[in-house]
Amino acid sequence: MANNAATQPDARSGQAPLAAALQPDEAEVIVALRRRGALSRTDLARITGYSRAKMTAVVGKLVERGILSEIGAGESQGGRRPRMLHFNPSQGYVAGIDLGASSLDIALADLGGTLLERHGEPANVNDGPQVVLDRVCALLLMLMQRRGIAPEQLYAIGIGVPGPVQFSTGLLIAPPLMPKWDAYPIRSILRETFSAARVVVDNDVNVMALGELRSGAGVGVENFIVIKIGTGIGAGIVCQGQVYRGSDGCAGDVGHICVDQHGPVCRCGNIGCVEAMAAGPALAARARSAAESNTSALLAARFRSNGGTLSAEDVGAAAAAGDRVAMEIIQDSGRMIGEALAGLVNFFNPRLLLLGGGVSNIGHQLLSSIRQTVLRRSPPLSTKDLRIDYAGLGRNAGLYGAIALALEHVFVEQ
């Protein structure tokens, strides 16, 4: 793999030299080319609003540095056929990391977003950040070695984590599922190994939303919400074509919306939170009590064969086998999630609601019950063109989103 000496990053700076060296006008040109493909200098002048003369100068410098290349002539608009410019994707690389409570997925892509290598394995976030991030670095180095890519050729790392993130600092703040990670400096730890990389940390659901926006069911949709249903419930919001993180970076924390003022006490201390009533553990608890009271023979049998435990997946399997109690548990969960989502639809008037996360695939009753509840509880004007569906990228949303997150921050300040 050939290296252009002019673009070789400085491993000691702790900043991405490529990005740091780019002027705002240069970044604008690159962003335009990444979004739209090949363009002529005249196109670029029109899109950016800069003069033709300025554009020729900016492009000249970028071509010299190997960041852009000319790829033959485009269609003539009457005069000489214009030379088309192309962003050179193999000028550097990015990594996407999707960290789940019990899984770790890593992918390597070029600057054009083409996925080159990927790897997934079980992981336990409660092993703590040192153990997990050591493993992340080792795996990433392995993927890069396979392609002959040096650590300093990695320009950005996007990482999605299952907890609340202060986006501006990249720190997890009091994450309930991974307390050992509270305020842990993920960015600087990863930069010890990948010194040229910008590291961008975000909440897993925001990352899923970005993935759906860039390459999933949300392409071209201005306003939509991704709901992740698993151990907890969270939302990723796309507003006016961009991931919306709110004033403190904690928008979408919808798991503790109240859906029943007479409901059970949640681990947060409040009453009737949708997460406490309708997420994975609540489904499992209802299934256990149906097994223990023998109201469902199927669940009782699974309970015994599992050695005295039941999971949300067991409820899904029982429902698929026709168990009415299991179906009812799933429907009730869908109704409660639907109640919370109806409020968000009334407020936000999105075009699309996408369901993701492990529990979202538990059975078609869940989606159907959520749809029914939202349609019943939200005004006709806000539901007439509303689509409610599964996330388009399925299990890949987090990984693709993490790559998109890295790509969006190669060329702009965090």
What's the CA gap between 360 and 338, in Å, rounded?
13
Stretch that binds a copy of itself, among 43-51, 139-147, 282-290, 309-317 (CB under 8 A): 43-51
DSSP conformational letter for 273: B
Alpha helices, DSSP H only, in 65-122?
Answer: none
Question: Binding of a copy of itself at residue 48 (CB under 8 A)?
Answer: yes
Question: Binding of a copy of itself at residue 34 (CB under 8 A)?
Answer: no
User: What is the x/- site pattern for a copy of itself, positions 173-212, by CB under 8 A?
Assistant: xx--------------------------------------
Stretch that binds a copy of itself, among 124-132, 302-310, 312-320, 376-384 (CB under 8 A): 376-384
Which residues, 49 to 88, sit near a copy of itself by CB under 8 A? 49-51, 53-54
What's the CA gap between 116 and 144, in Å, rounded?
9
Q: How near is the Cβ of 339 to a copy of itself at its closest, in Å?
A: 6
Tokens for 177? Answer: 């599922």
Question: Binding of a copy of itself at residue 382 (CB under 8 A)?
Answer: yes
Question: Binding of a copy of itself at residue 42 (CB under 8 A)?
Answer: no
Beta-carbon contacts of residue 332 (< 8 Å; ≥ 6 apart): 278, 286, 369
Neighbours of 90 (CB within 10 A): 15
Q: Which residues pair with 233 in a beta bridge?
A: 229
Residue with Cβ nearer a copy of itself (36 or 376): 376
Would you say how long the chain is, in residues? 414
Which residues, 309 to 348, sit near a copy of itself by CB under 8 A? 339-340, 342-344, 346-348
Q: Which residues pair with 109 in a beta bridge?
A: 94, 115
Q: How near is the Cβ of 109 to a copy of itself at its closest, in Å?
A: 28
Residue with Cβ nearer a copy of itself (157 or 345): 345
Residue with Cβ nearer a copy of itself (85 or 251): 251
Q: Are strands 103-110 and 115-122 parallel, antiparallel or unpaired?
A: antiparallel
Q: Are strands 39-40 and 93-99 parallel, antiparallel or unpaired?
A: unpaired
The secondary structure of 298-312 as a DSSP string is HHHHHHHHTTS---H
Interacting residues with a copy of itself (CB under 8 A) = 48-51, 53-54, 164, 166, 173-174, 222-223, 235, 237, 239-240, 242, 244-254, 256-262, 268, 270, 339-340, 342-344, 346-351, 376-382, 384-386
